[in-house]
């Protein structure tokens, strides 16, 4: 949404509910800007509408007027009695221009991306004024350019992108667990501070969500995801590339403790990636060849979105109740839904349980990386990542580490690029060299023991 607004030298915008000036240069600019696209709509309040000449609403420009007194449409003018109806009406147009009054602009400011503020050099005895400090960096705006006119100037503002907003939302979750979390016992015997029901949202167009308030083990993120995408269940394959994040949950002692005594050490059973690539097949061991067995959910999702980009059925599940007793760990990140909005790939992941200090930073980065991979295969950009969490918790043996991390201020996010265009056939031959991470500048790592 683009705001076009005009003030006099004293920040006045109206006199007796009318615009008290006639600035031909500003009117010409207004016409040029609002007719640059094929289907523009002007959104305004009723007083603004009544103060404008009828010719403004002729031609290809349409008007949406917010008014409690709703009348039938008149020519290119539609009246709406609520903001929701007005926004619903405007979304069918190519570009929305919000032109006043100031109360309406303030109520819709979260929808606004750019503002053109004309300030005239003269005073016109206005009786309706606005504050002079509403357009500043503290309120989220930056001045991009000044366009000079004979009778004044146009200040062009854009919204400041908050680069660390997404990481701060993660830190707020950590703080919530510490301050509001219910003390719970758990299977590990460590104890945790738990809240239930939370969502994190990440704009992948603003950067890659690899935390900066502590160094995240990027090599582990990449190699584990490749391991998942290959449907692997043999921990030794991870160990061969120097990644040991699954060691604690695949030892002989651990497996015996959960009643899995008939499989070799390092075989985690039909977990995660195996369900992604072979859902419904019969699992024997980590050495068997499962080619062509079960449902390849990755393949299914790609073909579904290729066939129908508007599909809401591009869902992948790792939760197979029939196989839970065969798994070393029931999956924590259990459900993925991919959605194409225009030319952007979006991903919503549901996680039943999240170790906020150790595990969740990994899960965030892994899900974002998976979104980039699927976007490349489908030849689109990345959009947003949403992670819904059931039980979010901080373990007792991570409390002091969390306090240390919370003292740090997030830095600019890094960027991720793929070194080659991927196809569906590339899923099984991915390597770490396919991914390039730039400008990752984290604080030092904070060590913490995994609760096993």
Distance CA 138, CA 126 (A): 27
Distance CA 157, CA 143 (A): 5
Query: Which residue from 283, 284, 297 is spatially nearest to 229, judged by alpha carbons?
Result: 297
Distance CA 298, CA 318 (A): 12
Residue bearing tokens 């979104």: 371
Read off the tokens for 351.
Answer: 């996680």
Distance CA 406, CA 410 (A): 9
- DSSP-derived secondary structure for 29-73: HHHHHHTSSSSEEEEEEHHHHHTS-GGGGSTT-EEEEE-SS----
Active site amino acids: 332
Query: Which residue from 187, 332, 326 is spatially nearest to 268, judged by alpha carbons?
Result: 326
Distance CA 36, CA 88 (A): 22
Taking each helix axis from N to C terminus, what angle separates 359-377 and 218-229, rounded to the nearest 10 degrees? Answer: 60
| 178 contacts: CB under 8 Å, gap ≥ 6 | 193, 394, 399, 402, 403
Phi/psi at 273 (5° precision) = -60, -30
Instruction: Supply the DSSP symbol for 214.
Output: S
């Amino acid at each position: 949404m683009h705001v076009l607004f005009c003030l006099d030298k004293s920040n006045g915008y109206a006199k007796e509910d009318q615009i008290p000036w006639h600035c031909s240069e500003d009117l010409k600019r207004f016409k040029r800007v609002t007719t640059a696209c094929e289907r523009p709509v002007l959104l305004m309040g009723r007083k603004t509408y009544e103060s404008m000449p009828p010719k403004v609403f002729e031609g290809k420009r349409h008007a949406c007027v917010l008014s409690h007194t709703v009348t039938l449409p008149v020519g290119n003018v539609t009246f709406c009695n609520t903001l929701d109806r007005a926004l619903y009406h405007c979304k069918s147009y190519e570009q929305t221009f919000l032109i006043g009054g100031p109360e309406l602009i303030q109520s819709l400011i979260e929808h606004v991306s750019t503002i053109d503020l004309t300030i005239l050099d003269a005073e016109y005895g206005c009786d309706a004024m606005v504050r002079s400090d509403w357009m500043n960096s503290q309120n989220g705006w930056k001045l991009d350019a000044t366009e000079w006119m004979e009778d004044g100037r146009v200040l062009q503002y854009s919204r400041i992108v908050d680069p660390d907003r997404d990481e701060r939302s993660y830190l707020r979750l950590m703080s919530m667990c510490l301050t509001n979390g219910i003390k719970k016992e758990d299977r590990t015997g460590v104890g945790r501070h738990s809240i239930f029901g939370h969502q994190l949202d990440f704009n992948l167009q603003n950067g890659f969500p690899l935390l900066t308030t502590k160094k995240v083990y990027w090599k582990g993120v990449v190699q584990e995801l490749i391991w998942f995408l290959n449907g692997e269940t043999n921990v030794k394959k991870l160990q061969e590339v120097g990644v040991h994040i699954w060691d604690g949950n695949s030892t002989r002692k651990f497996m015996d403790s959960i009643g899995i005594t008939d499989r070799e050490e390092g075989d985690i059973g039909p977990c995660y990636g195996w369900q992604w690539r072979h859902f419904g097949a019969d699992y024997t061991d980590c050495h068997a060849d499962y080619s062509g067995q079960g449902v390849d959910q990755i393949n299914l999702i790609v073909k579904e979105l290729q066939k129908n980009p508007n599909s809401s059925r591009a869902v992948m599940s790792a939760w197979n109740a029939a196989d839970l007793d065969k798994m070393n760990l029931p999956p924590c990140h259990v459900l993925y839904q991919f959605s194409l909005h225009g030319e952007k790939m979006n991903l919503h992941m549901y996680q039943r349980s999240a170790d906020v200090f150790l595990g969740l930073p990994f899960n965030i980065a892994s899900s974002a990386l998976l979104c980039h991979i699927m976007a490349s295969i489908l030849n689109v950009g990345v959009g947003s990542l949403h992670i819904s969490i059931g039980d979010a918790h901080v373990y007792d043996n991570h409390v002091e580490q969390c306090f240390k991390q919370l003292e740090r201020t997030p830095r600019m996010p890094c960027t991720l690029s793929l070194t080659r265009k991927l196809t569906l056939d590339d899923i099984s031959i991915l390597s770490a060299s396919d991914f390039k991470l730039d400008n990752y500048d984290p604080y030092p790592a904070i060590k913490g023991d995994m609760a096993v």
